[in-house]
Chains A and B, each alone.
Chain A
Amino acid sequence: KNEVEQSPQNLTAQEGEFITINCSYSVGISALHWLQQHPGGGIVSLFMLSSGKKKHGRLIATINIQEKHSSLHITASHPRDSAVYICALQGAQKLVFGQGTRLTINP
């Protein structure tokens, strides 16, 4: 069983819709990261969470440490939000990555 599971694997939505991507994990962590990867591009760090909730623009990330679950929300989605969103667990040293959620926002 993978230490980190993301759902859904693929998500297609219309511009303007509210988007939720989920991440569940099974190990103890010091922090959880949400990352964005565009096709052919590098990885951009969106959030690093150890508790509660963070907001940046239209992006919101939450984490429930007791339930070992995190969500990434995008409000008023836009085609430029189309990318792969990756949840990564931070242990003592290295990151353990989920497989990613491929998000496509259609105009």
Chain B
Amino acid sequence: GAGVSQTPSNKVTEKGKYVELRCDPISGHTALYWYRQSLGQGPEFLIYFQGTGAADDSGLPNDRFFAVRPEGSVSTLKIQRTERGDSAVYLCASSPGGMSGYTFGSGTRLTVV
């Protein structure tokens, strides 16, 4: 597609539930990033994929968070046993790699009630 697509744009879930957030990057972009942005803060790194593999998952806050990119294109961020503190905007970005720029999606606003 023309840009990075994230779905859903908004998600409200109950505490303890499981959620999946989807990112569809620009076709051909090998690098894909997930960031989390809390209100009034800058985005914080979660995980980075190069192709199908997670090249750096050091930003995932705990083992409730997991992400996959099985075919090197679409990625899914999975959050188990959601907590109210998980409420944030989850941003996805993709890049051709190297010193190329990034294209960001519009984000998924997750609210855990």
Contacts and interface: CB of A to CB of B under 8 A. Distances in A.
Nearest to B44: A97
B99 A31 contact: yes
Interface string A22-56: 00000000110101000001111100101000000
Interface in B2-49: 31, 33, 35, 40-45, 48
How big is chain B's contact interface, by range?
Answer: 20 to 34
B42 A99 contact: yes
A14 to B, nearest CB: 24
A94 B48 contact: yes
Contacts of B55: 93
Q: Which residue of B43, B59, B99 has the most chain A CB atoms within 10 A of its CB atom? A: B43
B42 A100 contact: yes
A43 B6 CA distance: 13
Contacts of B106: 41-42
Contact of B99 (A30, A41, A95, A98): A30
B91 interface: yes
23 contacts: A30-B99, A31-B99, A33-B102, A42-B91, A43-B93, A45-B102, A45-B103, A45-B104, A50-B99, A86-B42, A86-B43, A93-B48, A93-B55, A93-B56, A94-B59, A95-B33, A95-B43, A95-B102, A97-B42, A97-B44, A98-B42, A99-B40, A100-B42
